[in-house]
Structure 1
């Protein structure tokens, strides 16, 4: 069951990264073209590019946690005994879960507050932009919980 959720979530996040990156590139190219070849550049292109960039980061953060693409400073870590490495890894993952659960809760509150705000140039509710924060927090939390479960299963064997 968890593997199926992980697979579906992975496809969703990869699609989100692809679409937001394409949106970022497209809006940036429209902006570049309009500055050179049009009398006035459309006002929405900068905001659209920024929004697409934020969503590309939000979609890719969970995938980075899943695939260990974050930077590790393991010089000291490698010198520790294996049982301490194991404890430290679980402690770090527990801290990540706590941090991003808090982040997600406040992200949801931010989304709620964004229902009353409007985007300056595109005129959509800012909650749409703010939804990237709980998305980022929840996907990092999900993949970190999966990592802890797998570490504990390996330790039991």
Structure 2
């Protein structure tokens, strides 16, 4: 299971880097064209937005797996080790319910984008909306990893991002 998590970390880490590089490249095109050309390409604003949103959506699982989300642990600090484990699993089960719901709803959302074409580039919006499916699925998968790691005592405490 740890091997699968490491592979997912690497794959979506590369995806996030590519999205960041795409964002930087399109913003540079926009800056250079606004400075040196009479008119900047209209597609750069939309493409940079797509790269930004995609970069966020495709890295949600990595953030969940690294405990990088904000965590208020006032209650958790006062619990005994066994109760902390139960509490952490309970919280992860709530996150899992949310992620599965998000994933199921994102399927219809992505399908709805098939009928729409982006304003400035000739692609249908379901390609852009696919990030919501990936995000829900990745959060669910990484939450399942967390639950297994908590139950097998291989998980660092919440808030201890690597």
Same fold per TM (> 0.5)?
yes
Moved beyond 6 Å, runs of 4+: none
Q: For structure 1, which segment, 106-115 or 45-54, has the greater mean C-alpha deviation from structure 2 after superposition?
A: 106-115
CA distance in 2, matches of 1:110, 1:7: 29
Q: Verify: 1:133 aligned to 2:126, yes or no.
A: no
Quote the residue 1:124 is aligned against.
Answer: 123
Question: Structure 2 length normalisation: TM-score?
Answer: 0.90
Deviation at 1:109, TM superposition (A): 1.1
Quote the residue 1:99 is aligned against.
Answer: 98
Deviation at 1:67, TM superposition (A): 1.0
**Higher RCO, 1 vs 2 (CA within 8 Å, ≥6 residues apart):** 2
- Give unpaired runs (5+ residues) of structure 1: none
Number of equivalences? 154
Quote the residue 1:23 is aligned against.
Answer: 22
CA distance in 2, matches of 1:48, 1:28: 9
CA distance in 1, matches of 2:148, 2:21: 35
Question: Structure 1 length normalisation: TM-score?
Answer: 0.92
CA distance in 1, matches of 2:148, 2:29: 46
Please give the root-mean-square deviation of Cα atoms over the aligned residues, in Å: 1.4
